[in-house]
Amino acid sequence: MLYRQIPSSGEPLPVLGMGCMRLPETPEGRIDEGAAVALIRAAIDGGASYIDTAVPYHGGESEGVVGRALADGYRERALLATKLPAKRVESRDDMDRLLDGSLRRLGTDHLDAYLIHALTKSRWNRLWDLEVDLFLDEAKADGRIRYAGFSFHDTADAFREIVDAYAWDLCQVQYNYLDTGYQAGTAGLRYAAEKGLAVVVMEPLRGGMLAAPPAGVGEIFAAAPVTRSPAAWGLRWVLDHPEVTTVLSGMNAPVQLAENLAAAEEGLPGSLSPDEHETVRRVRDAFREKIRVPCTACRYCMPCPGGVNIPECLARLNDIALFGDHEHAAFFYRHVLGDTGYASLCAECGACEEICPQGIGVIDHLHEVADLFGR
């Protein structure tokens, strides 16, 4: 495994980490704990020892499963990160309560990294008024956390303001070859690095979309002078940036872990040739012509008050846009959703649009899905 350093301490971090938002699931939609524990431990054994989770992942199941995966000596080998759920904080006392709850579920007395989850400018301003800076200072001083950071979903201007507001150790941003100008973007990536923050990249494959390119896109990679899977191309492109410290991959199968570990072994900054960068540029242009909805299936919009399975509904729009197969999309719409979750259940409350990190006009898209598939 290759390593890069946390600027504030010089401690090495592996260039590949495991995000625990998309762990293996049972047919009923619960975490397949046996498979998840085996996968997390295999990631640590392979060197991808930065393990990232959060309170709401998998409907609140993720932290507990991660904690059990880190038993039997694995906690000492892992760099463990979880997050303060900003939208649940109404007082200074809530911050301590939520942190202590995460520690209990994870079965540990400290976190290597504690990030404020899904920060926007408005959330940051509210937390600042509640003295979140003092909370982070105290949690570091009493040993409950080693590094303080934040994950981010807002504009580039807001990102710079938040970076400058506190002595952060790290930040977590969405970045991939399609999202160079989205949210923090390339400019934010460079700004954080210049300010001495470790940069952890989430969604390097855009919720898996970049790992399975449609016809007309995959052929560009296939014709490249270097043989590499689409997922490996995506990871290598992100790791080519010297500002990036660690890339999080939401791996949910051993074959994905093996593929990502192999890509990480070659992930030196500046190692892609001009011809390889040109290949990625051509793929980016081809993708941008086809994508219908920029949903990454992060599930921040879930649960929907009306019972809509929003990510699955939006995924079917992209299926049609990318693959042109309405019948296939309709089959999976009915097969995955079963008797619940249809777009027609949308009550237009707007809760999803308020929280969506991608700024998607969800309601209009759900109407479109209902019209397309009849429910």
294 occurs within a structural domain = no
Bridge partners, residue 247, by sequence: 16, 201
Query: 190: which 2 tokens?
Result: 């460079």
Bridge partners, residue 12, by sequence: 5
Nearest to 248 by CA among 18, 15, 6: 18
Assign 26 a pLDDT band (cuts: 50, 70, 90): very high
Residues 219-241 as b/e (b if ≥16 CB within 10 A, e otherwise) read ebbeebeeebebbbbbbbbbbbb
Neighbours of 97 (CB within 10 A): 13
**Domain residues for 160?**
3-289
For 217-241, write each residue's pLDDT tens digit.
889 999 998 999 999 999 999 999 9
298 occurs within a structural domain = no
278 occurs within a structural domain = yes
- When comparing pLDDT for 324 and 245, which is higher? 245
State whether 34 and 167 are in the same domain.
yes
pLDDT reading at 338 higher than 80: no
Residues with Cβ within 8 Å of 60's Cβ and at least 6 positions away in sequence, in order, are: none
133 occurs within a structural domain = yes
CATH number of the domain that 242 lies in?
Answer: 3.20.20.100
The pTM of this model reads 0.87
Query: 63: which 2 tokens?
Result: 């932290």
Percent of the chain with pLDDT over 70: 100
State whether 26 and 140 are in the same domain.
yes
**What pLDDT score was predicted for residue 127?**
98
Quote the crossing angle between the two packed helices 274-290 and 230-239, to the nearest 10°.
Answer: 120
State whether 163 and 260 are in the same domain.
yes
For 106-162, write each residue's pLDDT tens digit.
999 999 999 999 998 999 999 999 999 999 999 999 999 999 999 998 889 999 999
> Mean of the per-residue pLDDT values for the chain?
94
**What pLDDT score was predicted for residue 36?**
98
For 254-310, write each residue's pLDDT tens digit.
999 999 999 999 999 999 999 999 999 999 999 888 888 988 888 889 999 999 999
Domain count, the chain: 2
Assign 214 a pLDDT band (cuts: 50, 70, 90): confident
State whether 285 and 327 are in the same domain.
no
State whether 30 and 123 are in the same domain.
yes
State whether 74 and 133 are in the same domain.
yes
Query: 169: which 2 tokens?
Result: 């150790």
pLDDT reading at 86 higher than 80: yes
State whether 282 and 344 are in the same domain.
no
